[in-house]
Chain A
Amino acid sequence: MIKILEVTKRYGKLKALDNLLADINDCEATALWGSNGAGKTTLIRCLLGVTPFEGEIFINNKNLRNDNKEIKKSIGFVPQEISLHDNLLVSETLNFYSQLKKTTTDSIGKWTEILGIDVFRDKLIKELSGGMRQKLALAIALLGNPLILLLDEPTANLDLRSREDFIHLLGLLKSEGKTIIFSSHRMEEVMSFADRVLVLDNGKIIADASPMSIYKKFGRNGILKIFIQPKSYETAINLLSLHGFTSSMNGKGIKVKVDPDLKIEPIKLLLNSGLEIENFDYEVELF
């Protein structure tokens, strides 16, 4: 059980977290949801004890301030940006972190095979793809078989296929009884995986309910991101506008505001007009 008692985190005059109160039960998968700057990452860092905060956090009846090292033995962490030492081999990296956790690389057990670590064990970190890095990060988090997993936007930098694979892995971990806390922007991840959602806004928890309740309560605005060739942007935007869709350019493609029930329509329109779609992604915004 994790108890968050009146936790506040300040950066100067700014309150990144404002008097948070929450209990997280064992074996629960809890999603932290909110816009950028809502406090999701800050909360995860407070739970790790890697940033000072006001208030108290108890994990399995131990005070995080007094028993920080002891508590961290039971926590596995996957950050949003996987920052490992580029010039180390995967095997060296696993050895280093296993020694820090006072365990062995064998403690990952069956996950070595599930994650496919042996395939890239002799590669340098800088040679790994995004998906491999994410799997290595999860392997490091699983060293010592921790009871709690803290995951900060674990699928943010993955493509669609890798994302699905990763969510499947998290599902397996959840079925083993691990307590999982993760932050995400993606509704499908929250809906498919979370037992509970804590919605953060400006450092406060404004809602605490099941994924379906949150989805119904906060609205159904969705953003469909369609990745097409730059030369086709204008054509695509004009075509969508003719059919009543609001769209704009967005980095490597276009983004279209669309209800979740209608999200396939813009794709059908573009395909029928002969435009080539390289990839697409859909996110529900709760605000």
Chain B
Amino acid sequence: MAALNPNTWLNFAQARVLLLDDHATGSNILIQIVRAFGVVHFDACTTIAEAQKCIADKEFHLILINGNLKDPAVYDFINWLRRTDTPPNCYASVILIAGHTQRSNVERARDSGANVILAKPISPTSVLERIVWASREKRPYVKSTVYAGPDRRFKEVEPPRGRSGRRQNDPSRTASDADASRQMSGQP
């Protein structure tokens, strides 16, 4: 991740931020950090129900979630958000802030639909780096029966050799196309 340039200006004045953290001190730490960045419009929720109500009532551009909520439904909450089908909130940038993650939840965290997972302990620099990264996010959003969230593929690569892509915008290349392409470029 590129280092932040201290002379770059960022304007959070119009950004609407939702914080979801049931740990009072953790929430306070996040609030102190985002306030320092110039965030003025934010809602700090301590329960998933509270956050769902906020999302139903207001628009948010950035959502910061403690991945270690006591409520184990935290990953379901992100999935719910992605499937609400109500822009802009369903496409809001979600940063999942995770401490130690139980083995049984590692895959759920990965597949939750968050844009970024940020490891605790956090620092102002790490939070800002991830926000800037999320703000530059250009990946399309995917919705399928098993996953809803930003496309997990970071590179535009063709489907495996000999197989057609599963998505509408996948390059539809056959094995012979790929072979021809490699021969033309001199690759083995």
Q: A and B: real partners? A: no
Residues of B with Cβ closer than 8 Å to A? Answer: none
Residues of A with Cβ closer than 8 Å to B? Answer: none
